[in-house]
Structure 1
Amino acid sequence: MKQNWNVIGLMSGTSLDGIDLVFTSFIKENKTYSYKILNSETISYSLEWEDKLRNAFYLSKAEISKLNVEYGVYLGETINSFIKKYSLKNIDFIASHGHTIFHKPDEGYTLQIGDGEQLSKATNLKVVCDFRTQDVELGGQGAPLVPIGDKLLFSEYDYCLNLGGFSNISFEQEKQRIAFDICPVNIVLNYYVKQLGFNYDNKGEIAKTGSINIDLLNDLNNLNFYKMPIPKSLGFEFVETTIIPLIDSYKLSIKDILRTFVEHIAQKIVEQLENTSTKKMLVTGGGAYNLFLIDLIKSKTMCVLVIPEKSLVDFKEALIFAFLGVLKLNNEVNCLQSVTGATKDHSSGKIYIKLH
Structure 2
Amino acid sequence: MISQRRLRVLGLMSGTSLDGVDAAVLDTDGSGIFGFGESAYRPYTRAERAVLHAALGAWPGDARAEAAAEVVELAHAELCARFRGIDLVGFHGQTLAHDPKGRGTHQAGSGEVLAKALGWPVVWDFRSADVRLGGQGAPLAPFYHHALARHVGARGPVAFLNIGGVANVTWCDPRLPQPEQACLAFDCGPGNAPMDDLMRNRFGQERDEGGALAAQGTPDTARLETFAKAEFFFRIPPKSLDRAAPVPDIAGLSDADALATLAAGVATGVMLAFDHFPEPPARLLVCGGGRHNRTLMAMIAAGVDCPVAPVESVGLDGDMLEAQAFAYLAARVAHGLPTSAPGTTGVAAPVGGGVFSQP
Deviation at 1:65, TM superposition (A): 8.2
Identify the residue that residue 279 of structure 1 maps to in structure 2.
Answer: 282
Identify the residue that residue 51 of structure 2 maps to in structure 1.
Answer: 52
Instruction: Determine the C-alpha separation between the residues in 2 that align with 1:202 and 1:184.
Output: 18
Instruction: Determine the C-alpha separation between the residues in 2 that align with 1:146 and 1:64.
Output: 28
Q: 1:326 aligns with which of 323, 331, 341?
A: 331
TM-score, normalised with respect to structure 2: 0.84
Identify the residue that residue 191 of structure 1 maps to in structure 2.
Answer: 197
Does structure 1 residue 226 correspond to structure 2 residue 228?
Answer: no
Higher deviation after alignment, 126-135 or 164-173:
164-173
Instruction: Determine the C-alpha separation between the residues in 2 that align with 1:315 and 1:44.
Output: 14
Q: 1:16 aligns with which of 15, 18, 22?
A: 18
Percent identity over the alignment is 28
Does structure 1 residue 203 correspond to structure 2 residue 210?
Answer: yes
Structure 2 vs 1, CA of residues 58 and 230 (structure 1 numbering), >3 Å: closer, same or farther? Answer: closer
Structure 2 vs 1, CA of residues 80 and 217 (structure 1 numbering), >3 Å: closer, same or farther? Answer: closer
Unaligned runs of 5+ residues in structure 1 are none
Instruction: Determine the C-alpha separation between the residues in 1 that align with 2:71 and 2:259.
Output: 36
Deviation at 1:323, TM superposition (A): 0.5
Output the amino acid matched with 2:300: I
Structure 2 vs 1, CA of residues 59 and 100 (structure 1 numbering), >3 Å: closer, same or farther? Answer: closer
Does structure 1 residue 151 correspond to structure 2 residue 146?
Answer: yes
Instruction: Determine the C-alpha separation between the residues in 2 that align with 1:79 and 1:318.
Output: 13
Cα pair 2:9 2:87 within 8 Å, conserved: yes
Identify the residue that residue 82 of structure 2 maps to in structure 1.
Answer: 82
Deviation at 1:319, TM superposition (A): 0.5
TM-score, normalised with respect to structure 1: 0.84
Q: 1:181 aligns with which of 182, 187, 191?
A: 187
Question: Would you tell me which structure has more helix in proportion to its own residues?
Answer: 1
Output the amino acid matched with 2:53: R
Q: Secondary structure at the match of 1:10?
A: strand
- Which deviations, in whole Å up to 9, do the C-alpha atoms of 1:74-95 show, x marking residues without a partner? 2563145322xxxx23x11111
- Structure with the greater relative contact order (CA < 8 A, sep ≥ 6): 1 or 2? 2
Bigger radius of gyration among the two: 1
**Count of aligned pairs between the two proteins:** 339
Deviation at 1:353, TM superposition (A): 1.8
Unaligned runs of 5+ residues in structure 2 are none
Structure 2 vs 1, CA of residues 82 and 254 (structure 1 numbering), >3 Å: closer, same or farther? Answer: same
Instruction: Determine the C-alpha separation between the residues in 1 that align with 2:136 and 2:219.
Output: 35
For 1:206-285, list aligned pairs within 5 A: 206-239=213-246, 243=247, 246-248=249-251, 251-273=252-274, 279-285=282-288
Identify the residue that residue 35 of structure 2 maps to in structure 1.
Answer: 36
Output the amino acid matched with 1:221: A
Identify the residue that residue 348 of structure 2 maps to in structure 1.
Answer: 343
Instruction: Determine the C-alpha separation between the residues in 2 that align with 1:198 and 1:75.
Output: 22
Instruction: Determine the C-alpha separation between the residues in 1 that align with 2:208 and 2:97.
Output: 29
Identify the residue that residue 120 of structure 1 maps to in structure 2.
Answer: 115
Structure 2 vs 1, CA of residues 294 and 78 (structure 1 numbering), >3 Å: closer, same or farther? Answer: same
Deviation at 1:72, TM superposition (A): 7.2
Structure 2 vs 1, CA of residues 278 and 131 (structure 1 numbering), >3 Å: closer, same or farther? Answer: closer
Deviation at 1:97, TM superposition (A): 0.5
Q: Secondary structure at the match of 1:134?
A: helix
RMSD of Structure 2 on Structure 1 (CA): 2.9
Instruction: Determine the C-alpha separation between the residues in 1 that align with 2:101 and 2:142.
Output: 21
Deviation at 1:196, TM superposition (A): 3.9
Deviation at 1:22, TM superposition (A): 1.1
Deviation at 1:262, TM superposition (A): 2.6
- Which deviations, in whole Å up to 9, do the C-alpha atoms of 1:9-58 show, x marking residues without a partner? 11112222111111222257xxx501433221221223443333333355
Structure 2 vs 1, CA of residues 198 and 122 (structure 1 numbering), >3 Å: closer, same or farther? Answer: closer
Output the amino acid matched with 1:6: R
Higher deviation after alignment, 254-263 or 335-344:
254-263
